Chain A
């Protein structure tokens, strides 16, 4: 499934990486600890988090993640937006809490990884 399909089906707001939505999502990972994501997230995963600090972009690049979804309507810090645009990391935003978003992603066929 592509990022674009997920964005459309779950009505996510695209904050950065609007040109990168054809990217394949190979799985999902939910965590708010950077070290946990660095250690355990799979390549091509869509990362669901409440962290808005610019380090999320570096972690996403490091792990070749498909993109990041910020939950609960959280807005990335300006530095985070800047870095995400420079590094080519899509950041999506939703008002949904993490639990609901993960459940809906799973229902769409995105599995953990």
Chain B
């Protein structure tokens, strides 16, 4: 014991095995020899690139929420809805629990995630820790699994096919915006946001 400082070490979250950190090069993924979980991977995206992606995601998110998702037509009548139309409809139809779930996982959590990341990255760009860095990083960690925009895209597809038997269905721009958002989320999924702890050292603020 006492052979090296704890910063040079890496512990597998899935089985508690201790490793000495090594420098990764492009495309490298470090895996745990005991349980085969991913320990660390090389990050190709710079802070600037991540910030650009987050800003893009924010613009797409606004569009995904403002524009209608699908339009149904039946004998001359038309009906379309946005995400908030969905949330309000569920609330009115005595399914408040579902309404809250939809609002949280498709609106509030993704929005909060993007705002937090944007804020943290904006300061990280200048090599500084954003005000509230520690608390916000912790919130970001817990927010992780509760954003479900990508699930919604598949759900919308299923809804379109289901409604297709009875109605004329036209996909609206909102659904394309959601598809683009899913693509952006997928790119981000490979990024370990914890790197910000190391990238932006304490005391730099």
Q: Do the two shown chains form a genuine complex with each other?
A: no
| Contact surface of A with B, Cβ cutoff 8 Å | none
